[in-house]
Amino acid sequence: MDNNGVGSWLHRRRAKSGGKAALVSGSRVLGYDELSTRTDRLANALVARGVTKGDRVAYLGENHPSFVETFFACGLVGAIFVPLNTRLAAPELQFQLQDSGARLLVNASALEVVASASVTDTVVTHRLVVAPDDGTDSSADELPSGVEHYGEVIGASAAVALDEPVTLDDGAMILYTSGTTGKPKGALLTHGNITWNCINTVVDMDLNRNDVALMISPLFHVASLDMGLLPMLLKGATVVLEAKFDAGRVLELVARHKVTTLNGVPTTFQMLCDHPEWSTADLSSLDKLTCGGSAVPQRVLDAYEERGIGFTSCYGMTETAPGATMLPVSRSKEKAGSAGLPHFFTDVRIADPLGGVAARGAVGEIQVSGPNVIKEYWNRPEATADSYADSSWFRSGDMGHQDEEGFLFVSDRIKDMIISGGENIYPAEVEAAIAELPSVGSVAVIGVADDKWGEVPRAIVTLREGAALTEEQLRSHLESRLARYKIPKSVVFVEEMPRTASGKIRKMDLRKQFAQ
């Protein structure tokens, strides 16, 4: 094949796996042959609507087979896929459509109102609307000009296999970073970035064709797509798609489909083990749990260990597609708190304040290099130039250190670090100590201005249902665990935390509300 990118994967996999289940979505099962055929049809439909190599195609919707089909159809055409966050408002979506220059948008019918509003003043000329059922779109509803039913478009298109010349250096996907200040940046992932990340994942997680992954995190998030779905399809395994996260349903689906792999953030796994059916749920098939985003509270680790299930912790970011390091389950106790070793084809170093390589054990900026690391931000040459050291090392903006064996320990984001009276305070350390309290559901520590010390830490805390905790009890718990300057000077109890689509706490929002 002339197509050496991700678009060729389904053609190659169909020859090897045929009718084996690729995707399960509700009662619908798509084998690799059917998924490949539908993707061929969609690719031809994109071409018929003027999409050519290098054009951008956006997708707005929850986890659904149409997401996967659109991603691979773009790969066949050589177009660049732009997944959009379903939680964004119309002006935010409009910016990403404008910035990427997307010509075509595929959106779920449930999001038609915001999708219609978001395309105003953009170059989007065509929209395909996905029905909530199996994607066959039997609806005869009239649609505005330039808007068509997704399923009808696929049904009317030829299943001719395209073989557009695509190299590993060609752009495959633009993922917009959450952005803590100003407008988000589009990270341009190449076919090579995605391929090497998937190879890293297959190697370090020891995936095999008999694995079954349950996707409970949104596919528009890089970890769910590039660490969850794509490595499984590369290997010829099966993926179960869930549009929404519900702890009870996840426990039921694990048992029904004999799920072997599950990835998420600490909140995900905490909600599962807090569910009333946790102790009786059949989890015997689970053997690969991957957690990223932040450290897993010890009580959650203990709950899974009691069920005989170990965690693989990992560290990464959108710009590393996203894998940078992974902690083997076999070393999880010995290296508690570590984000693991660099992925097989990835390198990690710690830079000192002068830009040199820091000594082992010394805290500095985490920098990542390898074929999975992006080369540029979309139309952001200045941001691109500022993000690399020595031309090939991506500057993560995170602080951390490596021990003598090379295991990475993440301290915190550089911008999250609190400087109090000249002392550096890493919120992650304080948060981990607070999370030891069984009454704590979630916690975030931010810096607030102080006339004497410059900054002091403040803890924002949610409590588990039915639990009680006072500020005095929290501070007393920390007195024997942390230096006094690290102990929050104030505590705010809230009902819930603002979170990103991937479940991470949005500290920017907390600072706006509680930093005064």
| Residue 133 pLDDT > 80 | no
Task: Please give the average per-residue pLDDT across 250-265, as a whole number.
Answer: 96
pLDDT tens profile 282-322: 999 999 999 886 667 778 888 999 999 988 889 999 999 99
Do residues 74 and 121 lie in contact, with contact meaning Cβ atoms separated by under 8 Å? no
Task: Please give the average per-residue pLDDT across 131-148, as a whole number.
Answer: 69
CATH level 3 topology of 190-413: Rossmann fold (3.40.50)
What's the pTM value of the predicted model, to 2 decimals?
Answer: 0.86
| Residue 98 pLDDT > 70 | yes
Mean of all residue pLDDT scores within the chain: 92
Which range has the worst mean pLDDT, 147-161, 239-253, 415-429?
415-429
Distance, first Cα to last Cα, the chain = 60
Do residues 129 and 150 lie in contact, with contact meaning Cβ atoms separated by under 8 Å? yes
pLDDT tens profile 48-88: 999 999 999 999 999 999 999 999 999 999 999 999 999 88
* Residue-level pLDDT at 182: 58
The CATH code of domain 6-15+35-166 reads 3.40.50.980
Q: Which residue intervals of the chain bear CATH 3.40.50.980?
A: 6-15+35-166
* Residue-level pLDDT at 181: 45
| Residue 254 pLDDT > 60 | yes
Q: How many CA atoms lie within 13 A of 334 on its CB side?
A: 9
CB-count exposure of residue 103 (10 Å: 0-12, 13-18, 19+) = buried
Q: What is the DSSP string of 115-128?
A: HHHHTTTS---EEE
Alpha carbon 309 to chain centroid, angstroms: 22
pLDDT tens profile 338-394: 999 999 999 999 999 898 999 999 999 999 999 999 999 999 999 999 999 988 999
Which range has the worst mean pLDDT, 35-44, 96-105, 287-296, 441-450?
287-296
**Percent with pLDDT over 90 in the chain:** 77
List all residues 6 or more positions away from 333 whose beta carbon is below 8 Å from its beta carbon.
Answer: none
What phi and psi, each to the nearest 5 degrees, are found at residue 493? -95, 130
Q: What is the DSSP string of 367-395?
A: EEESTTS-SEETT-HHHHHHTEETTTEEE
Do residues 224 and 263 lie in contact, with contact meaning Cβ atoms separated by under 8 Å? yes
The tokens for 10 are: 């389904």
Whether domain 417-514 has CATH 1.20.58.1910: no
What phi and psi, each to the nearest 5 degrees, are found at residue 339? -90, 0
- Omega within 30 of 0 (cis) for the link into 322: yes
DSSP 131: P
* Nearest one of 276, 300, 314, 286 to 466, comparing CA atoms: 276
**Percent with pLDDT over 70 in the chain:** 96
pLDDT tens profile 155-192: 999 999 999 999 999 999 999 986 544 578 999 999 99
* Residue-level pLDDT at 458: 97
pLDDT tens profile 433-488: 999 999 999 999 999 988 888 889 999 999 999 999 999 999 999 998 888 889 99
141 — pLDDT class (breaks 50, 70, 90): low
Beta bridge partners of 326: 314, 341
Task: Give SS3 for 4.
Answer: coil
**Measured CA distances, 56 to 79, 215, 307, 477 (Å):** 6, 25, 45, 52
Q: Which residue intervals of the chain bear CATH 3.30.300.30?
A: 417-514
Beta strands in 80-208, from DSSP E residues, in sequence order: 80-84, 104-108, 126-130, 147-149, 171-176, 186-190
Tokens 């009870």 correspond to what residue? 248
The tokens for 337 are: 């708190």
Give the angle subtended at the CA of 317 by the CAs of 7 and 177, to the nearest 5°.
80
Do residues 238 and 20 lie in contact, with contact meaning Cβ atoms separated by under 8 Å? yes
User: Residue 9 and residue 210: Cα distance in Å, rounded?
Assistant: 18
Q: Which residue intervals of the chain bear CATH 3.40.50.12780?
A: 190-413
